[in-house]
């Protein structure tokens, strides 16, 4: 799967929102450095966090086991599956929040915003 990613800090800096329809188009047209915006390819049975790390990126994480939410990303386009979820609320799941350490792509193309630690509600979940 091909994953286009964007750092949440960019949204904060530029006043963009996760719900902007043209979020990734704007990112593509802007001059954003390669760690904050770009794409990675995810091999089958590989989770998003691992794929990002294999490509040389440092995304936030702590437990690597689906228990802390430090690795949370917002899936804006496409879909992933998580084998289990014990910490994300229904509301967060509806917003597209997923744990990158245990998320496997199920669509060929994905767009995700990583580093979403400042998203409302997520702070309390992080260990």
Report the interface residues with ligand FES, using CB under 6 A.
61-64, 66-71, 99, 101
Secondary structure, 3-state, the chain = CEEEEEEHHHHHHHCCCCCCCCHHHHHHHCCCCCCCEEEEECCCCCCHHHHHHHCCCCCCCCCCCCCCCCCEEEEEECCEECCCCCCCCHHHHHCCEEECCCCEECCCEEEEEECCCCCCCCHHHCC
Nearer to ligand FES, 28 or 62 (CB): 62
Minimum gap (Å) between residue 65 Cβ and ligand FES: 6
Task: Please give the structure tokens belonging to residue 12.
Answer: 């904060």
Nearest to ligand FES of 26, 64 (CB atom): 64
Q: Tell me the closest approach of the beta carbon of residue 28 to ligand FES, in angstroms.
A: 27
When the beta carbons of 16 and 103 are compared against ligand FES, the nearer one is 103
Cβ distance to ligand FES smaller for residue 70 or 76? 70
The distance of closest approach from Cβ of residue 24 to ligand FES in the complex, given in angstroms and rounded to an integer, is 23
- CB of 112 vs ligand FES, minimal distance in Å: 14
């Amino acid at each position: 799967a091909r994953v286009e990613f964007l750092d949440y800090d960019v949204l904060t800096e530029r006043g963009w929102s996760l719900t902007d329809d043209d979020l990734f188009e704007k990112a593509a047209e802007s001059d954003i450095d390669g760690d904050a915006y770009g794409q990675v390819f995810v091999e089958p049975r590989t989770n998003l966090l691992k794929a990002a790390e294999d490509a040389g990126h440092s995304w936030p994480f702590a437990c690597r086991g689906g228990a802390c939410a430090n690795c949370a990303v917002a899936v804006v386009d496409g879909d992933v599956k998580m084998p289990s979820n014990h910490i994300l609320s229904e509301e967060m799941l509806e917003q597209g929040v997923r744990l990158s350490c245990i998320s496997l792509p199920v669509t060929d193309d994905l767009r995700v915003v990583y580093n979403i630690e400042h998203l409302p509600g997520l702070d309390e979940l992080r260990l």
